[in-house]
């Protein structure tokens, strides 16, 4: 039995104004206020983040950003820096989400710079990885995952990687309704853990939380969370409704 505390995280993508975010929390917090078994993290949109952080003060929930730049300031229109995130109390940052790669041309080299910046600012990076459908059909899942990890984690000393969280999100499962079967997900999670041992060391590999994401809902959360290498969930669509997300948080496992 692993002693890794599981993480249940909600990725709100480009949904919810500040008012809607606070309405969500007003309904959600009473349902999870005494839930200490797992870490709960919410990734709201940039305009809601400071409001969400303020509302979560004094609770055991955390909030983070969906992306960031790696520099602290500069002529980069539209970007948010690590410094800006920590100054409002953000604790986590999603990096390398497949939608960022697809729609914002984010490469794994960028993600590598961002992970280093997150670590330097004491932000916990949640590195998202995942293969496309064609990769899986061609039998390249392992190669893709190893390549993504190799690039994203290059030149990061082991002592800086103790906090890193990884989210395995097969691109074909995101927002499509088709989840990876718990066994398929677990198999990739164990590839990721082995690779973490290779890149860093056994202790980091054993302690790292590896989350699954891609069409998670209350109906499939138990089967996923009972897999030995699945240490939590990154939930998109199903995290937008307080009752639905609370059900996922209370999954029996």
Sites of contact with ligand PGA (CB under 6 A): 11, 169, 174-175, 213-216, 234-238
Residues 204-236: b if buried by 16+ CB within 10 A, e if exposed: bbebbbbbbbbbbebebbebbbebebbbbbbbb
Residue 122 CA to residue 120 CA, distance in Å, equals 6
Angle, CA 86 vertex, CA 85 and CA 91 arms, to 5°: 95
Q: How far is the CB of 201 from ligand PGA (least distance, A)?
A: 28
Q: Which is nearer to ligand PGA, 138 or 175 (CB)?
A: 175
**Quick one: DSSP state of residue 159?**
G
Q: Looking at beta carbons only, is 97 or 116 nearer to ligand PGA?
A: 97
Q: How far is CA 119 from CA 101, 113, 123, 126, 196, in A?
A: 21, 10, 6, 11, 17
- The helix (H) or strand (E) run that includes residue 18 is helix 18-32
Report, in Å, the least distance between residue 108 CB and ligand PGA.
Answer: 17
Q: Which candidate in 97, 110, 121, 189 is catalytic?
A: 97
CA dist 174 → 27, 89, 141 (Å)? 26, 29, 16
**Cβ nearer to ligand PGA, comparing 71 with 244:** 244
| Active-site residue (options: 39, 99, 131, 169) | 169
Supply the minimum distance, in Å, between the C-beta of residue 103 and ligand PGA.
12
CB of 216 to ligand PGA, least distance (A): 5
Q: How far is the CB of 211 from ligand PGA (least distance, A)?
A: 9
250 catalytically annotated:
no
Q: Which is closer to ligand PGA, CB of 109 or CB of 241?
A: 241
Helix ranges (H only) for 80-168 are: 82-87, 98-104, 108-120, 133-137, 141-152
Nearest to 238 by CA among 7, 8, 56: 8
State how far the alpha carbon of 69 is from the alpha carbons of 82, 93, 95, 106, in Å: 7, 11, 10, 10
Question: Among residues 145 and 216, whose Cβ is nearest to ligand PGA?
Answer: 216
Chain residue at closest Cβ approach to ligand PGA? 236
Would you please indicate which residues are annotated as catalytic (active-site) residues? 97, 169
């Amino acid at each position: 039995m692993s002693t890794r505390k599981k993480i249940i995280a909600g990725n709100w993508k480009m949904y919810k104004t500040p008012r809607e975010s606070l309405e969500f929390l007003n309904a959600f917090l009473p349902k999870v206020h005494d839930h200490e078994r797992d870490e709960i993290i919410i990734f709201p949109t940039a305009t809601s983040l400071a409001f969400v952080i303020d509302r979560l003060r004094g609770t055991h929930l955390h909030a983070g950003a969906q992306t960031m730049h790696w520099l602290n300031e500069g002529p980069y229109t539209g970007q948010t820096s690590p410094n800006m995130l920590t100054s409002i109390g953000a604790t986590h940052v999603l990096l390398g989400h497949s939608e960022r790669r697809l729609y914002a041309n984010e490469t794994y080299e960028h993600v590598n710079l961002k992970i280093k910046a997150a670590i330097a600012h004491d932000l916990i990076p949640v590195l998202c990885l995942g293969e496309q459908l064609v990769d899986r059909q061609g039998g390249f899942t392992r190669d893709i995952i190893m390549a993504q990890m190799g690039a994203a984690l290059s030149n990061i000393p082991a002592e800086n990687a103790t906090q890193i969280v990884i989210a395995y999100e097969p691109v074909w499962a995101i927002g499509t309704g088709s989840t990876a079967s718990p066994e398929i997900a677990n198999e990739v999670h164990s590839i990721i853990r082995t690779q973490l041992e290779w890149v860093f060391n056994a202790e980091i590999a054993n302690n790292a939380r590896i989350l699954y994401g891609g069409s998670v809902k209350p109906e499939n959360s138990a089967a996923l969370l009972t897999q030995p290498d699945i240490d939590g969930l990154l939930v998109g669509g199903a995290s937008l409704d307080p009752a639905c997300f609370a059900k996922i948080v209370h999954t029996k496992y």
